């Protein structure tokens, strides 16, 4: 995995206990690579390349006892959002 130098981007989702499908949307403003980590699911993607102006949606399932924390490691210029849909 890349040795990232910038502070990670953390997205906190206030969710009750349950299983969720999470969608993380990443938009790049420079050529870069990124990794996404979530406590319940571990690393979702590692060192994924994304070009300037590109967008990508990444979906994964996770179970939580309350709250989901998505951590995005990247040394480039990105913006990101996340949403969780309750499964059960």
User: CA 74 to CA 35: how far, in whole Å?
Assistant: 7
Query: What is the average per-residue pLDDT within 2-20?
Result: 95
Per-residue pLDDT for 1 more than 90? no
**Residue 20 contacts residue 86 (beta carbons within 8 Å):** yes
Asked if CATH classification 2.60.40 holds for the domain at 9-86, the reply, yes or no, is: no
Which tens digit of pLDDT belongs to each residue from 12-70?
Answer: 999 999 999 999 999 999 999 999 999 999 999 999 999 999 999 999 999 999 999 99
Question: Which pTM was predicted?
Answer: 0.94
């Amino acid at each position: 995995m890349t040795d990232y130098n910038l502070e990670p981007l953390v997205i906190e989702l206030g969710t009750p206990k349950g299983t969720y499908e999470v969608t993380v949307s990443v938009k790049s403003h420079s050529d870069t690579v990124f990794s996404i980590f979530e406590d319940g699911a571990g690393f979702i993607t590692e060192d994924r390349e994304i070009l300037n102006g590109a967008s990508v949606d990444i979906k994964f399932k996770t179970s939580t006892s309350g709250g989901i924390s998505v951590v995005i490691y990247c040394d480039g210029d990105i913006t990101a959002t996340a949403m969780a849909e309750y499964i059960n």
